[in-house]
Structure 1
Amino acid sequence: MKNFYTNLFVFLLLWVASVGIVFYKPVNLGLDLRGGVSILLQPDLSYALEQEYQRLSKDLYDKLREERVPVLDVLEGKEGIKVELLEDAKIEQVIRKHFPRFEIKERGRGYVLLALKEQEISALREGTVSQTIEVLRKRIDELGVVQPVITKVGQDRVLVELPGLLDLDRAKSVIGKTALLELKLVVDVGSKEDLEKRLTPDLELLPSRDNTQWFLVEKTAVITGADLKTAYTSQDEFGRPAVSFELTDETAKKFGEATEKNIGRALAIVLDKKVISAPVIRSRITNMGQITGQFTLDEAKELAIVLRAGALPTKVDFLQESVIGPSLGRDAIEQGIKAGVLGFVLLALLLIFRYKTAGI
């Protein structure tokens, strides 16, 4: 009899502990039980490769001039970097010495076409997908989604599942925005046709946000989104939504020197290769700035989120998207509760019928 009461006490103690765990540490419900958004996306690797060629082309041009290789021009594209030579120079030596990632893909009269080696392209692909997952995780954390699923699917696809979030448009807006922020000095403003005639390897032509105006700007940015310490929503001088940002200490010093040297010039605020605004530098600017551009409040909030999380390494393509309602999960939970209650009642009746008082 003593053993019976001991066993009963231990059973009750374990039962109370189990109930306490359930109530104080509830199980987080997934997409099938809470409902939410499911998105399958793919980073645009061809665009990432093109951006890498654009980044490397200026370094290549400067190094060739430094090594006194007679170069007419260096042009980047999707296939690689085309180097136009004034004469048949020994460019291979410079490439092997300073740019071992490249190989000569094609040689013609007066030019060579350089491209990244196959293993370098594979490494770029892996890095792009990994960085995309990391940035998406940071952005989704800012949205406050509990236990999101962000995982690599296949070689270069990413599956994103957001339990509890049913607004597909908002999810796509936050997830898919590249948010590449650059501040660049403006050379001139005018029509696309006139400004194209003045393009050089050090300059680029960018449209305004509404594509009604064109800006000729220096290709090298004064600062980028990677230099930001934080970003948050604010208001401009007219009370409209804006995004303010703070720079890291090291960048603030560099930005202060650059703005002091260029007082009176316009500074283009470029987001995803479009000029949001181009205010004139009136005085030295150090650790703070503001992005204005007739944003709505939601747009300003989303922009602040993606700037804090960082820019995606490339554009992303949405391959599949769906909103899953919680009705299926709710039905499963209700059926599970009914089955559990019915099973408990039947077991209790069986024990009482078989063991009488002991069963109770």
Structure 2
Amino acid sequence: MLQIDRWKRVLIFGICLLGLLYALPNAFYARVEAHNDAVAQIEATGVETPELAAARDGWPSWMPSHLVNLGLDLRGGAHLLGEVQVDQVYKSRMDALWPELRRALSDARDTVGSVRRVASPDGVLAIEIGNADQMAAATEIVRGFSTPVTTLTGAGQQSLAISTQGATLTIQLSDAEKAVTDDRTIQQSLEIVRRRVDEVGTREPTITRQGEDRILIQVPGIGSAAELKELIGTTAQLTFNPVVGTTADPQAQPGVGQTIAPSIDQPNLFYILEQSPVVTGEDLVDAMPASDENGLPSVNFRFNPTGARAFGAYTSANIGQPFAIVLDNEVISAPVIRSAITGGSGQISGSMDFDQANQLSILLRAGALPAELTFLEERTIGPELGQDSIEAGRISAIVATGLVAAYLIASYGLFGVFASIAVAVNVILILSIMSMMGATLTLPGIAGIVLTVGTAVDANVIIFERIREELRRAKRPFRAIEDGFREAMSAIMDANVTSFIAAAVMFYLGSGPVKGFAVTLTIGLVTSVFTAIFLTRLMILTWLEWRKPVQLNL
């Protein structure tokens, strides 16, 4: 067992050298990070400025440039906990359903009589029909818009809950449909928040669901929680609504199915709009910052085929009428339709600078949040605190490794030196694997690395103690070492397998820092087994072949 083939020796030393090579960029973190950012920006824009070229050339292109990503507690950044207002989606669903129901019921006017929407709570659609004795016929028409709920828990239930009272028909989402809608809303919000954060080029954000209706957002490297809130909290809901009229009274009461929105350019002008839009930002496929015909900042947008058809049909039927471009309940502009717009593209211009135009295009590309995010918790961690954490973690790792090495050398002499080298290589391999994976290192992750130092030492101690036992039986050094490694193998594997199971449970059931600890612990378990069983054995065997000792004092 102690004999190692030449190709295995080359492989073991090769893995160690490769690990050192991939861990090396972390020793020059700022330089390599600037190199990576410059390369990414040059590839994305195709523009190479002298500053970008200097940053790119600050690290050799032939060297590995993967880094261990630093978490929020090490790098500084922003932490937000937001609650998704899912009730708003119920209202939007009912508002979107009304135009279709109005057309369907109007087609049956001879039976159900006149149709009008009456006031009702948010999320509830109340319709009054002229012929109360034909409520069954009206209910049957509405039921045609209900669909089966497609989940196991909602099997056999419909998406709409319909009730009647006198001449009024009340429609709302069923409980099963609300549960499905809530889950879909949270998932959609998660994806949109992730896309918005990714658009600004931040590194390794943590965006996860917390509980039923909350989202945890942690973004390293961003300036402040306020900056992150500005990016995420803006819903960027773009709609194109028919204009009913204008007013100077902000307290004016619009009719049922209508809404009032202020003009973004004229403080004393308010537009009364149809609540149901012609098209929405969901029909956008692209949005880019640009300049209008006067050279002022603007945003060019383009619809998908569905949006282009709806917009073209509306503008064709309403030439000479105004329509409003509404962003987050503010009217950006309300031009008069001069001709049919069938090309599927348009332009937003107004009082914005180029930075605002770029920010608006980012938000529109990412899409609108389906519901408002209310921030319950916000925290900013400064870069200085992150640097202090890095320094504290570095010192703790060095001190722990140094004390362990001193103990090993004091207890086992030369073999303790071999074990100390193996422990140092173990830490290097952990960093190299995390760099290649693009894993994120947090303070608990540093604790995981320090813990694996102890795990690696434990494996070496088990091996050395088994060798001592074999030497007490008067075995020759070569034979004692061979038997010691063989007898220690089962104990080492059992200890690491149980630790691996614990790490796996923490990874799958934990979140955030707990997962970071589990990742570094798992990697450390693998590398500690490699260094203890293969690297330490190779160093001992090389020494045995060189010195050929007759007896061994351990």
TM-score by length of 1: 0.84
Look up the equivalent residue of 1:55 and give its one-letter code: A
Count of aligned pairs between the two proteins: 356
Question: % of aligned pairs identical?
Answer: 29
The reply to whether residue 216 of structure 1 matches residue 260 of structure 2 is no
Relative contact order (C-alpha < 8 Å, sep 6+): which is higher?
Answer: 1
Instruction: Give, in angstroms, the shift of residue 232 of structure 1.
Output: 1.6
Change in Cα spacing, 1:239 to 1:329, as seen in structure 2 (3 Å) is farther
- 1:142 and 1:194 mapped to 2: Cα distance? 38
The reply to whether residue 33 of structure 1 matches residue 79 of structure 2 is no
Instruction: Give, in angstroms, the shift of residue 162 of structure 1.
Output: 0.7
The Cα RMSD (Å) is: 3.3
What does the per-residue CA deviation read over 1:142-194, in whole Å, with 9 as the maximum and x for residues that have no partner? 01112111111111111111111123222111111111111233343233489
1:95 counterpart (115, 119, 142):
142
Q: Which has the higher helix share?
A: 2
Instruction: Give, in angstroms, the shift of residue 345 of structure 1.
Output: 6.4
Change in Cα spacing, 1:101 to 1:345, as seen in structure 2 (3 Å) is closer
- 2:93 and 2:222 mapped to 1: Cα distance? 35
Contact 1:32 1:328 in 2 (8 A): no
Look up the equivalent residue of 1:244 and give its one-letter code: N
- 1:104 and 1:200 mapped to 2: Cα distance? 20
Instruction: Give, in angstroms, the shift of residue 4 of structure 1.
Output: 8.7
Give the SS at the match of 1:155. coil
- 2:17 and 2:114 mapped to 1: Cα distance? 81
- 1:92 and 1:224 mapped to 2: Cα distance? 29
The reply to whether residue 265 of structure 1 matches residue 321 of structure 2 is yes
The reply to whether residue 205 of structure 1 matches residue 263 of structure 2 is no
Change in Cα spacing, 1:5 to 1:85, as seen in structure 2 (3 Å) is closer
2:199 counterpart (118, 137, 142):
142
- 1:230 and 1:351 mapped to 2: Cα distance? 67
- 2:98 and 2:288 mapped to 1: Cα distance? 34
- 1:225 and 1:280 mapped to 2: Cα distance? 20
Contact 1:185 1:218 in 2 (8 A): yes
Runs (5+) with no aligned partner, structure 2: 25-63, 147-157, 418-539, 548-554
1:339 counterpart (374, 384, 399):
399
- 1:301 and 1:341 mapped to 2: Cα distance? 49
Larger Rg: 2
Instruction: Give, in angstroms, the shift of residue 250 of structure 1.
Output: 5.6
Contact 1:39 1:321 in 2 (8 A): yes
Q: How does 1:1-360 map to 2 (within 5 A)?
A: 11-23=12-24, 24=64, 25-67=66-108, 68-75=111-118, 77-88=121-132, 89-90=135-136, 91-99=138-146, 100-105=158-163, 107-192=164-249, 196=253, 199=255, 201=257, 203-209=258-264, 212-248=268-304, 251-252=307-308, 255-256=311-312, 258-285=314-341, 286-325=343-382, 326-336=386-396, 338-339=398-399, 342-343=402-403, 346=406, 350=410, 353-354=413-414
- 2:316 and 2:116 mapped to 1: Cα distance? 32
- 1:66 and 1:194 mapped to 2: Cα distance? 35
- 1:290 and 1:351 mapped to 2: Cα distance? 76
Runs (5+) with no aligned partner, structure 1: none
Instruction: Give, in angstroms, the shift of residue 291 of structure 1.
Output: 1.1
Change in Cα spacing, 1:64 to 1:101, as seen in structure 2 (3 Å) is farther
